Amino acid sequence: MTVMGLARAEREDLRELLGGLTPEQWRTPSLCAGWTVQDVVAHVLSYEELGARRLVERLARGRFSLHRTNAAGLREYGTRTPAQLVELLDDHLTPAGLTAGLGGAIALTDGMVHQQDIRRPLGLPREIPAERLVPALRTALLSPVLHGVLRLRDVRLVATDIDWTFGRGPEVRGKAEAILMVAAGRGVAVAELSGPGQERVARRLAG
């Protein structure tokens, strides 16, 4: 399956999850500081309808800061109801706009991390297919936006549930999903890693 196909499959899984959430679950705080589950969904979809001109306009409103640009998108889409967000997701199961970049790798990685930002606080774990995890790990590590390789430099990453390794140095072992979340800056997953390099990674995220 192509990366774009994997990104669509990830969004289909998100759609299935969202369809079963209660109003209370939509209001639950996510792993993204200050954002509820509803906010995270709004953020995931906030770039789908932007053409090149509107994307530049939003970047300008955010003064070309990723954090401020994301905040601008959330202000625009955060007023939509859960039903409206699900409808928007139905219309964009295949990524469009900015998230379609890198052949869909942006949508795959961003969508996977944010789905876990939702699932973990709700206590709704899942088994992510290895064929999706591998390209998402690669993108999270090498993306100039996520800076995962800086957080996980000088260690050897070993996934214990799929056939995947990366880097050199003292070993850090754990499930691929936990490695992905740490690469994306989610410190909550550091405790799920082990090995002689784990403390080094923990210090970086704590700092």
Last residue of a domain, one of 66, 90, 122: 122
Above 90 in pLDDT, residue 147?
A: no
Specify the CATH number for the domain of residue 163: 3.30.1050
Last residue of a domain, one of 80, 97, 122: 122
Q: How many distinct structural domains can be found in the chain?
A: 2
pLDDT digits (tens, 9 = 90+) for 37-55: 999 999 999 988 777 677 6
| Three-class secondary structure assignment of the chain | CCHHHHHHHHHHHHHHHHHCCCHHHHCCECCCCCCEHHHHHHHHHCCCCCCHHHHHHHHHHCCCCHHHHHHHHHHHHCCCCHHHHHHHHHHCCCCCHHHHCHHHHHHHHHHHHHHHHHHHHHCCCCCCCHHHHHHHHHHHHHCCCCCHHHHCCCCEEEECCCCCEECCCCEEEECHHHHHHHHCCCHHHHHHCECCCHHHHHHHHHC
pLDDT digits (tens, 9 = 90+) for 195-204: 999 999 999 9
Statement to judge: residues 67 and 155 lie in one domain = no
- The per-residue pLDDT for 62 is 61
pTM of this prediction exceeds 0.85 = yes
Statement to judge: residues 87 and 146 lie in one domain = no
Statement to judge: residues 114 and 12 lie in one domain = yes
Domain that holds residue 8: 3-122
Statement to judge: residues 155 and 202 lie in one domain = yes
pLDDT digits (tens, 9 = 90+) for 91-139: 999 998 888 888 999 999 999 999 999 999 999 999 999 999 999 999 9
**Chain mean pLDDT for the chain:** 92
Statement to judge: residues 67 and 97 lie in one domain = yes
Statement to judge: residues 49 and 77 lie in one domain = yes
Statement to judge: residues 115 and 179 lie in one domain = no
